[in-house]
Structure 1
Amino acid sequence: MIDAGQLVAAFNDVASTKNLSPEEVNDLLKDGIMAGLSRIHGPNVQAEITIDDASGELGIVLLRRVVEEVEDPSSEISLGEARWDDDGFEVGDVMEIPVDFADFGRNAVMAVKQRIVQRVRENERDRIRDEYADRVGELLSGEVQQIERGKIVVMLNRSPDADAIIPWKDQNPRERFRQGDPIRCVLKKVEETPKGPRLVLSRAAPIFVGSLFYLEVPEIHQGIVDIKEIAREVGGRTKIAVYSRDESIDPVGACVGLRGSRVQAVVQELGGERIDIVPWHAEPEVFARRALAPARVSKVMSDPERQVITAIVDEDQLSLAIGRNGQNVRLASQLIGWQIDLYGSREWLELGADLSLFKRESDDDAFETSDFALAELELTPETLSSLERAGYRTFLQIIDFDRAAFLEVEGLEETEADQLLALIDELTVVADDAGAESEGGAESVGDSEEGQDESGVEASTEEATDEVVASEDDEVSDPEGQAAAELDDEEDGGSTTGDSDASDDDEASDTEAEDVAAAEDENEAHA
C-alpha cells in the first residue's frame, strides 16, 4: 500500500533541491493527481484535492453531475446510479465520490510522475529565464563540466541545471581549460531553444573586461568611476577609457591600484593580455590624443562631418602609434568611434603641410586644452544663436578665429566679433613669454632653412658647424664684436673666413677699426 505521507515527504525533498516553495509543491501534487484521474476516468474529470501539510494525508473527491442521460462519463452520472447510494439525488445535483490514492494503478501513477516531472522542468525553465533575462553583462562563475566540439559546457554555481555554454568564437584562444576547472565569464545573451532557455557566455566580449574591473575596483562599484568605452582584440590588447565623477579621484590610478595590484588581477584573469587605461574626454581631439597612448601625438585635427581624426606624430613615435600589425591605432579608432588617419612628421611635410603648426603643437604638448559649451559664456542670445546656426557650439571650435572669420558668420556684427575676440584673449592661456620667444625663433629658423633650399645654396656640415661655434663664442665674448662682424659680412657680400672662426677671446676684444682692416686685407689676399 502506498503511504501518502511518504509520498509527500519525497516530493518535499525534490522541491528543496529544485528551489520550490511549499505552495508550488502542493500545486505540483494536485496537478499530478489530476493527470492520474484523467488517465482512469477520462479527460474531463473534475475533483477536489486536499493536502494536509502536517500529516501529509491526501483527500481526493470526484465530482460528477447528476443527469438523465450520460453523455460524458468522466464528469456525469445517471440519476439511477446516483440514487443507488442516496434516494434524495435529483437531476442537476453534484455527487461526491471519495477516491483512495492507493487505488491508483500503474498507468495512473506513471501519469502522475510524468506530469510532475514536466511541471518541474517548466518551472525551472521559467525561473532561469526570469532570473537571467535582466542579468546580461554580469559576471558569472561556475565549473567546466564538459568540452565538446570546441564549445565549453559550464555548470553555474547558482543554477547547476541551467544550460550554459561558451561557444568557440567567445573563447580566448590563449586559454585552455579542462573538466572541473573553475571559470568566470560574462553573460552575453539568453536564447530560446526547443529544450528551454540557453545561457550564452563569453570570455572574449569587451564587456568581460569591464565586469572584471567592476569586481576589482571599488570606485567603479560605487559609481564614482565610470567605464565609458572599451575596445578589445582578444588575447592581444585592450584599451579602456574611464571617467571620474569626483575631481579628487584619478580614474586611471583607481583602476591601476597600489603598485598595479588591481589591474594585475585583471591581466591574470585574461591570461596576460595587455591593458591600456586612458582617461576619457568629451572632445574627440583630446580623446584621440589619449587613446593613441603610449605614443606622443604632436598634432590632432578633426573633421566632425566625416568623423575623421587626423593625427601627426614624430618619426620616433610612429611605430608606437601604429602598434604591432596596426593594433594600437585600430583599437584607438574603435575606442573613440572615429576613423583615425595617422601620419608621420616626414610624410606630413611631404604632403605640403604647415610646418609651423606642427612645431607649435609639439612645443605645447605639455599643455592640455579643456573645452566647454558656448552657452556658458556671457554672450547675448542673438550671438549664441548665430554661432549655433553656423555649427559652432563649443569654445574650441572658435578659439582660432580672427575678426574676419567671425564677420563671415551670418548674423554677427563688428561689435559681436570684437566681444568674442576679447573673450578668447581672456580665456586662452599659452606658454610664458620666454617659451613664446623660443617658439618664434624655431619658426624663423625653419623659414630661413626653407629660403636657403629654394635659392639653391648648399653648405657643408663642417662649415655649418664652424659658423654655429663661432657665433656662440662671439655672443659670449663680446656682443659689440659680433655686431661688427655681421657688418663686415654684409659689406663683403656674406663671405666667411677660417681665420675669423679661429680667433681667440683677446682678438675679439680689439677695436672695430682693426677688425675691418683685417677683413679688407683678407679680401685682397683672396683676390
Structure 2
Amino acid sequence: MAITSANQLELLQTAEAVAREKLIDPALVVEAMEESLARAAKSRYGSEMDIRVSIDRKTGRATFTRVRTVVDPEELENYQAEMTPDQAKQYLENPQIGDTYVEEIPPVEMGRIAAQSAKQVILQKVREAEREKQYEEFKDRIGTILNVQVKREEYGNVIVDLNAGEGVLRRNEKIGRESYRPNDRIRVYIKDVRREPRGPQVFLSRTAPEFMAELFKMEVPEIYEGIIEIKAVARDPGSRAKIAVISYDSSIDPVGACVGMRGSRVQAVVNELQGEKIDIIPWNEDLPTFLVNALQPAEVSKVVLDEDAERIEVVVPEEQLSLAIGRRGQNVRLASQLTGLDIDIMTEEEESARRQKEFEARTKLFMDTLDLDEFFAQLLVSEGFTNLEEVAYVEQDELLVIDGVDEDTAQELQTRAREYLDAQNAKALERARELGVDDSLINFEGLSPAMVLALALDDVKTLEDFATLADWEIAGGWTTVDGQRVKDDGILEKFDVGLEEAQDMVMTARVLLGWVDPDDLIAETEEGEEATEEEAEA
C-alpha cells in the first residue's frame, strides 16, 4: 500500500468509520495511523532513525519526516537520530544543544507484513481508547445502580454488558443461590472502577450494603429527597438485613415510610434481593438505645457501654437469649455491624453471677488490706467503693453516709488505706530501683510507684524509653485481624490509664527531652480546635 493522493482521503474516511463504530474520538484513530505509518517507515529506512508521520486532518496527506537532534559530542550514541553541533552546521545556522533538524523523506511502499503491523498498531490504539473511554464513563458512577444484561459466566463470575464494555460480578458478590443465563437482565451496584494491566475493570456487586441503601432510595421518595436518611446498613446477603433510618421531619415516621402502604416499598426491595428479610430500625444518637432497637425482635433488660473499648454488654432474660443471638449468631452479628460495636450478650443469671463474683473479690480485698470483718467490708462494696485509692482519698463525707460510720471510724479507715498504699508504693519503688529504673522516670509527674514498676517489668526504665511508646502500648487498644477485633493489652491499662491520658504523658515526656517544641504543640492544638469548630458550624 503506497501513501499516494489516490488513497489519502481514504485514510480519513477509514479513521472516521472506525471512530463512529467504536464511539471514540476520530483524532485518536488518526494518531494511531500516524504511529503505524511511522513504524512501517522505520522498517524501510532503519529502526534507529527518528521518523515521524503527520496526517493532514483536512486533505489526508501523510507527510514523512526524519528528525535529528543536536547533542553534546560526548553523549552522541545514535548517529541516525543525533548529531554534534559541528555536523549540524551544514543544516542549521549557529546550532545549539537540543536543536532539531527536520527533513521530509519520500513516502514508503508498504508490503504485506508492514501493512499487517500497521493494522495491529491501529487496533491496539483503538482498544486503548475504548478502555480509557470506559474508565472515564464509569469512574464517576461508583455507588450507583445499573440495569444490565448478562453476557456469560466465567468460573463463577458473571460478565455483563455495559454497552461501552463489560463489567464483572464476582462470585462472592452474588447473592447466595442466584444463577443467571445469558440475556437475563439484572440490577447491580457499581462497587469499584480500577485501571488494570488488561484494561479498566468495572467491579459490580449485589451483596454490598450500599446496594440495599440505593434500592431503598429508589423505592422511597422521602429518602431520595433527603427527608429520611439511611444511617447504617448491615447485611447477611440473601438471608437477613438490618437498616437504620432517621427522619428529619417530625411528622414523618421513618420506619413506616420505608415499609410503605401494606409493605409495598420494602417488599419491592425484598423481591430484588431474593427474599432477604429486612429489619427497619429507627436510628438513635444514644448508642445503648440504638443497640436495643438493633437487637429487635429480642427484648433487652440492661445495656452497659464501654466507649474506650468500643464494646457493649447486653443483658437479656433467659428466654430471650436465643432470639437475641439469632440463628448461628446472625442477629447479634448484624446488630454489631450496624452499631460498629462488639457486643457481649449474657443472661440475667450470668450477669448476676458475675456481679456476685466481683462483689466477693472486692469484699475480700477490703478485709485483707484494711483488717475489716466481712460485714463492714460488704458495706463498703455496697456503697460503690471498688479499690483502696477510693477509700483513702475520697471526701470523708462520702464515708459518713455509710450506716455505723462516724468521723473517727472514717478517719481510721482512711488512715489504714493510706498506710497500706504507702507501704505498697515503697515496695514498688524499691523493686523498680533494683531493676535499674532511672530517676528521670521515677520522678516523672503522673506515674505512681506501682506504674513505674509495671513499666520496669516491661523493660521501660528511662524517660527516653517511655517517650518512644505509642499511646496504645500504654493504655491498650483493639486491632482488627482477619476481620476479628483482637485486644492489645496496655502496660498501664490496669491502672485505668486511657488513650488520651497516655497520649498526653508521652508528649510531655518528649517535650521534657527536647524532642518536641512546645510551641508546635500549642499550634497543633489551636488548629485542631479551629477545625472542630468549623465542623460543628458545618
TM-score class, shorter-chain normalisation, is 0.5 to 0.7
1:234 to 230, 233, 237: 237
Per the alignment, residue 91 of structure 1 pairs with 90
**Cα displacement (A) at 1:41:** 2.0
2:149 corresponds to: 143
Q: Deviations over 1:403-452 (max 9, x none)?
A: xxxx99x999x9xxxxxxxxxxxxxxxxxxxxxxxxxxxxxxxxxxxxxx
User: Are 2:152 and 1:169 aligned?
Assistant: no
1:250 aligns with 2:265: no
Residue 104 of structure 1, aligned match among 99, 110, 114:
110
Q: Provide the rounded CA distance (Å) in 1 between the counterparts of 2:225 and 2:127.
A: 38
Counterparts of 2:79 and 2:158 in 1: how far apart (Å)? Answer: 54
Question: Does the 8 Å CA contact 1:32/1:113 hold for their aligned counterparts?
Answer: yes
The 3-state SS of whatever aligns with 1:5 is helix
Find the residue that maps to 2:200 and give its secondary structure: strand
User: Contact 2:230 / 2:244 at 8 angstroms: preserved in 1?
Assistant: yes
Specify the structure having the higher radius of gyration (Cα): 1
Aligned CA distance change for structure 1 residues 203 and 65 (closer, same or farther; 3 Å): closer
Could you give the per-residue CA deviations for residues 348-394 of structure 1, whole angstroms, max 9, x where no partner exists? 667679xxxxxxxxxxxxxxxxxxxxxxxxxxxxxxxxxxxxxxxxx
Q: Is the 8 A contact 2:30 2:55 kept in 1?
A: no
Q: Deviations over 1:77-104 (max 9, x none)?
A: 9xxxxxxxxxxxx920667546457x33
Alignment of 1:12-411 (within 5 A): 12-43=16-47, 44-47=49-52, 49-53=54-58, 57-63=60-66, 91-92=90-91, 96-97=103-104, 99=106, 103-157=109-163, 159-160=164-165, 162=166, 164-314=167-317, 317-344=320-347
Mean Cα displacement is larger for which, 302-311 or 260-269? Answer: 302-311
CA apart distance, 1:74: 6.1
- Whether the 8 Å contact between 1:187 and 1:199 is mirrored in structure 2 is yes
Query: Is the Cα contact below 8 Å between 1:237 and 1:273 reproduced in 2?
Result: yes
Pair 1:66–1:327, CA change in 2 (3 A):
closer
Equivalent pair of 2:242/2:281 in contact (CA under 8 Å): yes
Q: Write out aligned runs for 1:468-487 (5 A).
A: none
Name the amino acid aligned to 2:146. L
User: Which residue matches 2:370?
Assistant: none
Check whether the contact 1:238–1:274 (CA below 8 A) recurs between aligned residues: yes
TM-score, normalized by length of structure 1?
0.56
For residues 121 and 249 of structure 1, what CA distance do their matches in structure 2 show?
Answer: 52
Counterpart Cα distance in 2 of 1:303 and 1:33? 71
| C-alpha separation in 1, matches of 2:306 and 2:202 | 42
Distance change >3 Å, CA 65–CA 304, structure 1 → 2: closer
Q: Is the 8 A contact 1:41 1:74 kept in 2?
A: no
3-state SS, counterpart of residue 202 of structure 2: strand
CA distance in 2, matches of 1:283, 1:145: 48
1:7 matched to 2:11? The reply is: yes
Q: Secondary structure at the match of 1:39?
A: helix
Letter in 2 for 1:218: P
Q: Distance in 2 between matches of 1:29 and 1:154?
A: 32
Q: What is the CA distance between 1:201 and its match in structure 2?
A: 2.0
Q: CA deviation at 1:344?
A: 4.5
Amino acid at match of 2:265: R
In structure 2, what residue type is equivalent to 1:169?
N
DSSP-derived class of the 2:309 partner: coil
Q: How far apart are the structure 1 equivalents of 2:68 and 2:202? A: 49
Shift of 1:266: 1.2
Give ranges in structure 1 of 5+ residues lacking alignment. Answer: 78-89, 354-400, 402-406, 415-527
Shift of 1:57: 2.8
2:28 and 2:126 in contact (8 A); partners too = no
Distance 1:335 1:316, change over 3 A: same
Assess, with a 3 A threshold, how the Cα gap between structure 1 residues 34 and 244 changes in structure 2: closer, same or farther: farther
Q: Does structure 2 conserve the Cα–Cα contact (< 8 Å) formed by 1:141 and 1:156? A: no
What is the Cα-based RMSD across aligned positions, in Å?
A: 3.8
Query: Cα 1:316–1:25, aligned 2, differ >3 Å: closer, same or farther?
Result: same
- Decide whether aligned partners of structure 1 residues 130 and 117 sit closer, same or farther in structure 2, where only a CA change above 3 A counts: same
Shift of 1:275: 0.7
User: Structure 1 5/340 Cα, relative in aligned 2: closer, same or farther at 3 Å?
Assistant: same
- How big is each residue's C-alpha offset from its partner over 1:73-130, in whole Å with a ceiling of 9 and x where there is no partner? 96699xxxxxxxxxxxx920667546457x3332332232122122222223333334
Residues of 2 paired with 1:275 and 1:66: CA distance?
Answer: 70
Structure 1 CA distance, aligned partners of 2:123 and 2:301?
69
Report if aligned partners of 2:241, 2:277 keep a CA contact under 8 Å in 1.
Answer: yes
Which amino acid is the alignment partner of residue 237 of structure 2? Answer: V
1:64 Cα deviation from its structure 2 partner: 6.5
Q: Secondary structure at the match of 1:3?
A: helix
Q: Is the 8 A contact 2:243 2:279 kept in 1?
A: yes
* Distance apart, 1:195 and its partner CA: 1.5
**Cα 1:52–1:192, aligned 2, differ >3 Å: closer, same or farther?**
closer
How big is the shift at 1:203? Answer: 1.6
Structure 1 CA distance, aligned partners of 2:158 and 2:134? 19
Residues 49 and 308 of structure 1: is their aligned pair in 2 closer, same or farther, counting only changes over 3 Å?
closer
Code of the aligned partner of 2:21: T
- Normalised to the residue count of structure 2, the TM-score between the two structures is 0.55
Q: Which amino acid aligns with 2:261?
A: L
Q: Deviations over 1:313-367 (max 9, x none)?
A: 45554443333233222211221122333344566667679xxxxxxxxxxxxxx
Amino acid at match of 2:35: D
8 Å CA contact retained: 2:64, 2:104: yes
SS state of the match for residue 177, structure 2?
coil
- In structure 1, the partner of 2:86 is none
CA distance change for structure 1 residues 314 and 39 in 2, over 3 Å: closer, same or farther?
same
